Amino acid sequence: MSENSNFPGWHGTTIVGVRKGGKVVIAGDGQVSLGNTVIKGSARKVRRISPGGHDVVCGFAGSTADAFTLLDRLEAKLEAAPGQLARASVELAKDWRTDKYLKNLEAMLIVTDGKDLFIITGAGDVLEPENDIAAVGSGGNFALAAARALMETDKDAEAIARRALEIAAEICVFTNGNMIVESIDA
């Protein structure tokens, strides 16, 4: 979020994606805050979409309405290019960066089809994270650090994602422990 933004002070969430042992897991908390007030504690910010019969798991941080707009656009891109998450993600990022309406949206996405794991940003970036971990949102850096440390343990992808989100919730006031977790086979 830029300092010059007219964004009303909504704090999204924490989303973490982990790939390990043949699975990719995306987990997100449920808190939506406006300033220092918790507006909702049980928002669902991790979703499974199946355009063209190909499952994709998506998690979003930022403005909920903006994220739903982006998810709709991603789903349309995937319907046009079934099974091609990388292509659909790049097309969405290009639109997001150049479209006058879309470029004002305040959200970030983590998406996976089990094979690829990407972070999509409003700056036109499609990032494939290192170390098989992606994290965005208010507590994203806390979840990322925790997940990186946990990758060296014998925990599976889901256990790592859950514990990383729990740790982020202990540190970040804009993150709670109400988790939604979706997994997909690699």
Q: Which pLDDT value is given to residue 120? A: 93
What domains lie within the chain, and their CATH numbers?
10-185 (3.60.20.10)
Q: Which pLDDT value is given to residue 49? A: 93
Query: Given a cut of 90, is residue 60 above it in pLDDT?
Result: yes
pLDDT tens digits for 112-149? 999 999 999 878 889 999 999 999 999 999 999 999 99
Kindly name the residue from 13, 64, 112, 175 that is annotated as catalytic: 13
Question: Closest Cα to residue 119, out of 137, 138, 101, 97?
Answer: 137
Task: Look up 13 and say whether it is catalytic.
Answer: yes
The predicted model gives 150-171 an average pLDDT of 97
Tokens standing for residue 94: 């290009």
Whole-angstrom distance, CA of residue 134 vs CA of residue 73: 21
Query: Given a cut of 60, is residue 11 above it in pLDDT?
Result: no
Query: Given a cut of 80, is residue 5 above it in pLDDT?
Result: no
> What DSSP letter does each residue of 53-64 carry, written as one string?
G--EEEEEEE-H
Whether the CB-CB separation of 122 and 6 falls below 8 Å is answered with: no
- Matching residue, tokens 């659909």: 88
More confident residue, 77 or 64: 77
Query: Given a cut of 70, is residue 3 above it in pLDDT?
Result: no
Which DSSP symbol is given to 130? G
Strand partners, 58: 47, 111
Residue 14, classed as helix, strand or coil, is strand
Amino acid at position 95, single letter: D
Whole-angstrom distance, CA of residue 141 vs CA of residue 122: 18
Residue 113, classed as helix, strand or coil, is coil
